[in-house]
Chains A and B, each alone.
Chain A
């Protein structure tokens, strides 16, 4: 007997992600899902961003790694709440893992929650966790062929930060090619060129992120729920 089914295989995760999102909305919290390959500089970017913005906005961080708590410790040293998730082998975070961290946070005292995903250019793009949008980081040392090799992540992200631009004299990587190929995959992508090492270009990213946090809280103030 043939039976027509038509169900999204990831529906269970989508459901939990929607519930997470509803909770974040209640707290007027902007949530970003930060993704990249291992070693592209996600944690360094977060450290710099926290230093720059923590006097203006209240930030919390969920750190996803297969193993170790070193990233959460690095973030906690910045004086913001940080919770480590160890996936124990899984290559991405999902909605349920994020939900399990909720007792560790007081969301009413946060403006921005950053979910630093497991370093991987493939799988995290497929699993929503309840974020407002995805931000991805690509370092120039990885090469300019990454948008065409991993289109899904570039397509799903709202922001691309091209990191380690201080290394450009030493690597064969065309930033122009990265930008051109990324915009073909995602014409709406906002792109920043930064170096977490020298700080170059980070100011634009800080301002953009700060504005996004303000927009989120303004939406609620002016919105139908008063």
Chain B
């Protein structure tokens, strides 16, 4: 599993952002995790907690929002839910669609002191 390297990347970014805002402690961080990203939230939490032990980030809560897959069909000019990983427009059957949500792996917000 690659949650350990994800957790390390996450902590690097958090430390940069804390320095940027002059923060001394991290209370929580909120992530958006797309339905399509290959992340197991429990594993990520576990790795995160191990790495932050003994650092100014210790005790921080990792909050994760799962983002369902959403598509957009340029032909119909409308968004839709992608169900069961079928990447086809439900209205016109087009396969030329864009995935607009559900693949993200990003930080949204953090709470610091």
Q: Which residues of A contact B (CB under 8 A)?
A: 1-13, 90-92, 94, 122-123, 125-127, 148, 151-152, 155, 184-188
Contact = CB atoms under 8 A, between A and B. Distances in A.
A8 B105 contact: yes
Nearest to A91: B2
B53 interface: no
Interface residues of B, number: 32
Interface string B94-113: 01000000001111111111
A7 B85 contact: no
B113 A126 contact: no
A5 B9 contact: no
A6 B31 CA distance: 9
Interface string B1-25: 1100110011011000100010100
B37 A152 contact: yes
Given A1-B111, A1-B112, A155-B85, A123 B38 contact: yes
B72 interface: no
B107 A185 contact: no
A2 B5 contact: no
A7 B38 contact: no
Nearest to A127: B2
Contacts of A6: 106-108
A3 B111 contact: yes
Q: Which 10 A-B pairs have the closest CB atoms?
A: A187-B95, A123-B2, A151-B85, A5-B107, A184-B86, A122-B38, A185-B85, A8-B106, A9-B105, A2-B111
A90 B2 CA distance: 7
A150 B5 CA distance: 20
A155 B5 contact: no
A126 B111 contact: no
Contacts of A126: 2, 37-38, 105
Given A2-B109, A184-B87, 19 more contacts: A5-B109, A6-B107, A8-B105, A9-B6, A9-B13, A11-B9, A11-B13, A12-B9, A90-B5, A91-B1, A91-B2, A122-B38, A126-B105, A148-B85, A151-B36, A152-B36, A185-B86, A185-B87, A187-B88
Contacts of B10: 9
A125 B23 contact: no
Interface in B11-54: 12-13, 17, 21, 23, 29, 31, 36-38
A148 B6 CA distance: 24
A75 B27 CA distance: 51
